[in-house]
Chains A and B, each alone.
Chain A
Amino acid sequence: MSIEISGPPLVSPWMMLTMSDARNDIDKDKIVIPGQAVCDAPQQFMRGHGTYIRDGEIVSSLSGVVQQLNRLLMVKTIKQRYAGEVGDVVVARVVEVQAKRWKCDVSSRLHANLPLGSVLLPGGDFRRKDVEDEEKMSEFLKNGELICAEVQQVQHDGTLMLHTRNNKYGKLQQGILIKVPPHLIKKSKKHFHTLPYGMAVIIGCNGNVWVTPALPETTVEEDGSHVHEFQIVPQDIRLVMIRVAACVRLLRDYSISIFLNSLTTCYEMSQPYDIKELSEQETSSRLAYLITARLLQELQQQK
């Protein structure tokens, strides 16, 4: 139980990584900040998202990377609060139970809505939702509970409509939630990954990574309602889960994008270290270096 207090790092580890050669993939793109002209000859280009016209010039209104799609100029932001797209898998927390719908916090501009109609009730089938279901709503999903859902529709003011009409979506049981800036989540088709070490990870597009033990499916009663027994997670699975959670935090600290491959590499490389050391500064900076080196090698091999 030795405690030691250190001084501030001479150069913040995060800055060290940016000066290393791991970041040469960024330099070639054109990074713009708000108010900066996006192109020199404004006539030939069409104005896309993230730009506006100021006295004849196309000027960026976002801080991000300029992208050109034959004649359309767009600025894609690097760092922004989550703006949902249809089909995104999100991990959300129920904030309020309202008439016929749940309001959930997806750490986006506005709370998302989960209508009662688009939820898979314990009955398992899509039966018509009647008044009695409305009263039992908070019994099924109450305030503060975590759900995994898919974005069905984006309304005009940016509110997301969610749905959980699939048995892989729905209420999340025991596990650890890690909040990550959404721009670190790499776009990928699969979001549910069951890792061989006996646990599963859900990487939500809105930056919520959920680490959960792959317990045997909770026994489903005949009337279809999930039996809610509180199984105590065995110690070895718990240690694995905590190590994966520490790896996600490490990737977040060094802004390495999070996807299955980076997670597994980080997990294997962190084996020689104790979980507690992963959050300490010098071990994590050394590890971050190794991970970026390994991932860059794999990228070269694929090319």
Chain B
Amino acid sequence: MNSIQNIQQVLNLQIRLFIPRFQLREFLTVYNTLSERCFNACARDYTTSTLTKDEGSCVSQCIDKQMLVNRRFMLVFAEQAPKALFKQGEQSPTEAIKSAKPEQTPASQTTETPTTMSIISEHGFRIDGRRPAQIRNINTRLGLNRNAEGSCYLEHGNTKVLCAVYGPYEGKASKRLEDRCAIVCQYSTTTFSGLERKNRPRGDRKSTEISRLLEKAFESVILTESFPRSQIDIFCEVIQGDGSNLAACVNATSLALADAGIPMKGIASAATCGIVDAKPIVDLTSREETDLLPRVTVSGFSSIILLLHSKFQLATICGRDEVILVELQNRLHIDHLSVVMDAAKATCADVYECLAVVAQQHLKACAPILGH
């Protein structure tokens, strides 16, 4: 029985070791971004080793500024959330307050209709404290759906997407293709995913269009000739949508396909990119998406499909510049196009790094113990 006891200790040790690591990592990421930003902003005089007087004050100012930005963001969020509870037509409580007793908010930046200017503050930070070229952090878990061959849960900031891959299996005769594998895609969002409650999760024009986009994109990624007459089903469910839903779906699908062990040319990664007064900003949240700025989603692999939509989404394979899906929403000035494409492709490369690490770790984990 003592073997069970010491295994017990090993187990608890592992757990005790693991939790602080989680918290440590969390704290470190916050600390690093803060110190990196303040150092760039304030450290100027390298002649002496100690901090000069004004550098010291600049650093403390910079930290306060950062804290203020975060608090301001919380405030705006608190103001936005109740507005989201009521239909556009309804008079939401906050508007009631505004109309009931109009009062001046002294030096606060948040005016009623956020102009594009307020997307990036003068210090180059966005509403949620990110730099224009910085992506939100990605958490993923692979292989959680037991019925599906491959499945992936991906959290890109607040956007949470669940994707399942079934197949290749012998599907209905109507969808069967003689020479290659038929890919069936369905993109659906839960009714509580957006800020407003939708009464139909799928089947509306927008989700059918996105399903078709995903189908076309992944037909060029998967080596379909190796499975004639069979069918692969790809189902994406957006559990909570906070911007760049299509990009998150492409990333989740490519991870799920890798988990399912389906032969592919590579892991497709996707990113959205918008443009604000000629400066590209990447990985847009729903708050930045609702404004009028053009957005591009690019998912890169081989053929470029340029569809004119406002959001520019681009997906590339392994970060190289083979583009498999481009979706542009709103009008975009022609010479901005190249700027936005490059920014999006660069971000795709970063996203690819994250996806590659996750896929490799998962494969190592699910290899059978004592398998060979």
Contact = CB atoms under 8 A, between A and B. Distances in A.
Chains A and B directly touch (beta carbon < 8 Å)? yes
Interface of A: 10-12, 14-20, 22-23, 25-27, 31, 33-36, 50, 52, 54, 59, 61-65, 77-81, 107, 109-111, 157-158, 183-184, 186, 254-257, 262, 285-286, 289-290, 292-293, 295-296, 299
Contacts of A80: 260-262
Interface stretch (B13-21, B54-62, B73-81): B13-21
Contact of B356 (A19, A33, A64): A33
A289 B5 CA distance: 12
B229 A110 contact: yes
Nearest to B228: A157
Nearest to A16: B14
A173 B254 CA distance: 41
B229 A257 contact: no
A213 B169 CA distance: 31
A110 B230 CA distance: 6
Nearest to B7: A289
Given A18-B364, A31-B364, A183-B368, A61 B7 contact: no
A79 B260 contact: yes
Contacts of A31: 360, 363-364, 367
A35 B317 contact: yes
A78 B363 contact: yes
Given A10-B19, A16-B15, A184-B371, 19 more contacts: A18-B365, A27-B364, A31-B360, A34-B263, A34-B264, A34-B265, A50-B263, A63-B261, A64-B363, A78-B368, A79-B261, A81-B149, A81-B167, A81-B168, A109-B169, A158-B227, A255-B368, A286-B8, A289-B11
Interface string B270-308: 000000000000000000000000000000000000000
B370 A109 contact: no
B370 A255 contact: no
Nearest to B150: A79
B363 to A, nearest CB: 5
Interface residues of B, number: 46
A10 B17 CA distance: 13
Given A79-B363, A186-B371, A286-B8, A64 B261 contact: yes
B30 interface: no
Contact of B368 (A11, A16, A257, A285): A257
B11 A10 contact: no
A35 B170 contact: no
Given A10-B15, A26-B364, A183 B230 contact: no
7 contacts: A62-B261, A63-B363, A80-B262, A81-B260, A255-B367, A286-B7, A289-B7
B359 A286 contact: no
Contact of A109 (B7, B227, B364, B368): B227
Contacts of A10: 15, 18-19
A104 to B, nearest CB: 11
A295 B11 contact: no
A107 B166 CA distance: 11
A295 B369 CA distance: 9
B227 A299 contact: no
Given A79-B259, A79-B363, A34 B266 contact: yes
A290 B7 contact: yes
Per DSSP, are chain B's interface residues mostly helix, strand or loop, or mixed? mixed
Nearest to B356: A33
B37 to A, nearest CB: 32
Contact of B267 (A33, A64, A107, A262): A33
B96 interface: no
A250 to B, nearest CB: 13
**Pairs of residues from A and B, 4 with the lowest C-beta to C-beta distance, nearest first:** A35-B266, A80-B261, A257-B368, A18-B365
Contacts of B365: 14-15, 18, 23, 255
B334 interface: no
Contact of A35 (B10, B259, B261, B265): B265
B210 to A, nearest CB: 23
A58 B20 CA distance: 42
A63 B258 contact: yes
A34 B258 contact: yes
B366 interface: yes
Nearest to A65: B367
Interface in B58-75: none
B369 A255 contact: yes
B267 A35 contact: yes
Nearest to A257: B368
B318 interface: yes
Contact of B3 (A27, A50, A290): A290
A286 B4 contact: yes
B371 A23 contact: no
A63 B4 CA distance: 36
Contacts of A295: 369-370
Contacts of A256: 368-370
A77 B369 contact: no
Interface string B208-228: 000000000000000100011
Contacts of A63: 258-259, 261, 359, 363
Contact of A52 (B258, B265, B318, B369): B265
A295 to B, nearest CB: 5
Given A33-B356, A33-B359, A157-B228, A23 B170 contact: no
Contact of B369 (A15, A23, A27, A158): A23
Most A CB atoms within 10 A — which of B19, B149, B359, B363?
A: B363
Contacts of A79: 150, 259-261, 363, 366
Given A35-B267, A63-B261, A81-B168, A257 B363 contact: no
